[in-house]
């Protein structure tokens, strides 16, 4: 690990920040949260095809960002089993490419990863130094990306998170709000445990990390490496669904279902192409200590997100 960091601020007065995957759940929140730190580059797919390595090299050479925040990923877990080439490109090769650029420039790379890099076994929350061992292709490609970033020699923060959702886009929350308004009964898996993490919280903590790195007095408090980023507490997908329906009703969203209408089922009763980890719990002491923050409960964050959805309708 580096004992001294390259300061974030470039020789010019404005920082140029490249956010890849800027139209995704996390990328959109990053564009909102990082706007005060510098000039944001967030090319859409038409402007930059991330699956094309040559196009990425050309974009980096032309725009020469001072900081890269990589929120791009192949996140279709089941599809990754059969589409491993594209999952590998976006989850492993792209981070390696961005890390190499940052290493050559002496700049920072912020990269987002997943609890899926771990085996998903047991009941103890995963710590950053625990052995990895993905149970599916998606997790294997995410781990390959983490390792490429860590081995590149670039200054980096790898944020491993879990069960990401937001007020827009495709997510478990969006699906539950739709189904909860259409049905009176649902069966939801109850033996997979984790912490639902809003994209907004991921972006906020990222902003705090970058502010720490950009302050000469605190820059060395945050070491290059892996950090877990999730709210406090834990639940199952069944528990998450029940809380969604309760909070949605309180927020005035139309719900035909009640928590009593949600049946708990084991993972074996809901087969999927890709195996799912039963234990997605992440220990977050390290990031709290490094930034001097207290992460909020997953319930409080869900309530905020549902309020945001309700007020926009």
Q: Please tell me the predicted confidence (pLDDT) of residue 10.
A: 54
Catalytic sites, residue numbers: 138
Q: Please tell me the predicted confidence (pLDDT) of residue 11.
A: 47
Q: How many Cβ atoms are within 10 Å of 272's Cβ, its own excluded?
A: 12
Residue carrying structure tokens 């997943």: 114
Distant-in-sequence contacts of 177-184, Cβ < 8 A, 24+ apart: 177/244, 177/248, 177/253, 177/309, 179/257, 180/244, 180/245, 180/248, 180/255, 180/256, 180/257, 181/253, 181/254, 181/255, 181/256, 181/257, 182/256, 183/256, 183/257, 183/261, 184/256, 184/257, 184/258, 184/261
Q: Please tell me the predicted confidence (pLDDT) of residue 221.
A: 86
Residues 123 and 43: their CA atoms lie apart, in Å, by: 40
Ranges of the chain with pLDDT below 50: 1-3, 11
Distant-in-sequence contacts of 29-35, Cβ < 8 A, 24+ apart: 29/166, 29/199, 29/200, 29/202, 29/203, 30/69, 30/71, 30/202, 30/203, 30/206, 32/203, 33/200, 33/203, 33/204, 33/206, 33/207, 34/69, 34/203, 34/206, 34/207, 34/210
Residues 191 and 237: their CA atoms lie apart, in Å, by: 8
Residues 138 and 122: their CA atoms lie apart, in Å, by: 20
Task: Express each pLDDT in 156-175 by its tens digit.
Answer: 999 999 999 999 889 999 99
Domains and CATH numbers, the chain: 16-168+198-231+282-295 (3.40.50.720)
Angle at which helix 298-312 crosses helix 237-250, to 10 degrees, equals 50
Q: Please tell me the predicted confidence (pLDDT) of residue 223.
A: 95
Task: Express each pLDDT in 181-221 by its tens digit.
Answer: 999 999 999 999 999 999 999 999 999 999 999 988 988 88
Model-level pTM greater than 0.85?
yes
For residue 225, the cross-strand partners are: 157
The dihedral over CA atoms of 219, 224, 225, 231, expressed in degrees to the nearest 10, equals 20
Q: Please tell me the predicted confidence (pLDDT) of residue 313.
A: 85
């Amino acid at each position: 690990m580096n004992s001294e960091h390259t300061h974030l601020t470039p020789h010019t007065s404005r920082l140029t920040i490249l956010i890849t995957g800027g139209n995704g759940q996390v990328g959109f929140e990053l564009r909102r949260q990082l706007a005060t730190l510098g000039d944001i580059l967030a090319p859409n797919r038409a402007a930059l095809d991330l699956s094309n390595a040559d196009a990425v090299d050309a974009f980096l050479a032309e725009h020469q960002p001072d900081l890269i925040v990589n929120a791009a990923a192949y996140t279709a877990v089941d599809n990754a089993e059969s589409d491993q080439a594209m999952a590998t490109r976006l989850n492993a090769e792209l981070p390696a490419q961005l890390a190499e650029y940052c290493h050559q420039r002496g700049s920072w790379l912020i990269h987002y990863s997943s609890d899926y890099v771990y085996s998903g076994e047991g009941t103890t929350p995963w710590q950053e130094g625990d052995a990895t061992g993905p149970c599916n292709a998606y997790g294997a490609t995410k781990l390959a990306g983490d390792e490429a970033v860590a081995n590149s020699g670039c200054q980096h923060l790898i944020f491993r998170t879990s069960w990401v959702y937001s007020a827009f886009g495709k997510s478990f929350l969006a699906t539950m709000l739709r189904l909860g308004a259409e049905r009176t009964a649902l069966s939801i898996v109850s033996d997979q445990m984790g912490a639902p993490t809003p994209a907004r919280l991921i972006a906020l903590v990222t902003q705090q990390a970058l502010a720490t790195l950009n302050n000469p007095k605190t820059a060395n408090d945050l070491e290059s490496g892996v950090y877990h980023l999730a709210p406090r507490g834990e639940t199952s997908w069944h528990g998450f669904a029940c809380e969604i329906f309760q909070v949605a009703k309180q927020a005035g969203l139309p719900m035909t279902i009640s928590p009593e209408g949600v049946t708990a089922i084991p993972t074996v009763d809901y087969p999927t192409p890709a195996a799912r980890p039963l234990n997605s719990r992440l220990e977050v002491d390290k990031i709290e200590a490094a930034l001097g923050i207290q992460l909020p409960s997953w319930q409080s964050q869900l309530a905020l997100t549902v309020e945001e959805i309700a007020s926009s309708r």
